């Protein structure tokens, strides 16, 4: 466990929040590079609604937002690594290996973050 930081919040949790927010911003930048279309518009809306929706769902189920933040942070950075900040790569023909890589990286990342936090 890393040492404490501001106000008793563990440094690992503060680092997790920052890394998740930066990952969200990197994906937002990748989505904004798409040509203007209805697909891009819907992808941006879904991206904006994902963090509050996931955190609200985890909170209603009784898990709290820390577990949601761990999963989202790992998924955002796995998405960046698997697609190279070009989300449209998941829409190409033959992109199943890329999707499998995304899922494997996300699972491994979530496990590593959980080990760092707890």
Tens-place pLDDT, residues 32-87: 988 888 888 998 999 999 988 988 898 888 887 888 899 999 999 999 999 988 88
Give residue-wise pLDDT tens across range 3-40: 566 677 788 888 899 999 999 999 999 999 888 888 88
* Confidence (pTM): 0.84
In a domain, 2, yes or no: no
Asked whether residue 4 is assigned to any structural domain, the reply reads: no
pLDDT of the residue at 4: 66
The widest CA-to-CA distance across the chain, in whole angstroms, is 49
By the 10 Å C-beta count (0-12 exposed, 13-18 middle, 19+ buried), 35 is classed as exposed
Rounded distance, CA 5 to CA 13, Å? 9
- CB-CB neighbours of 37 under 10 Å: 9
Q: Residue 96 falls within a domain, yes or no? A: yes
In a domain, 26, yes or no: yes
Q: Alpha-carbon distance 103 to 118, whole Å?
A: 22
Q: Which of 100, 70, 102 is nearest to 84 (CA)?
A: 102
DSSP 64: -
Minimal CA–CA distance to 13: which of 27, 25, 26, 2?
2
Structurally, the chain folds into a number of domains equal to 1
* Host domain of residue 83: 10-117
Region class of 44: left (phi > 0), else alpha (psi between -120 and 50), else beta? alpha
């Amino acid at each position: 466990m890393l040492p404490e930081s501001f106000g008793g919040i563990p440094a690992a949790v503060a680092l997790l929040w920052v890394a998740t927010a930066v990952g969200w911003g990197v994906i937002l930048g990748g989505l904004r590079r798409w040509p203007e279309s209805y697909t891009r518009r819907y992808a941006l809306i879904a991206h904006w609604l994902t963090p509050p929706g996931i955190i609200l769902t985890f909170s209603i189920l009784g898990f709290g937002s820390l577990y949601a933040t761990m999963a989202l942070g790992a998924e955002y950075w796995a998405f960046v690594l698997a697609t190279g900040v070009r989300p449209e790569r998941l829409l190409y023909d033959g992109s199943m290996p890329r999707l499998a890589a995304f899922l494997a990286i996300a699972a491994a990342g979530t496990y590593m973050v959980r080990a760092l936090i707890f």
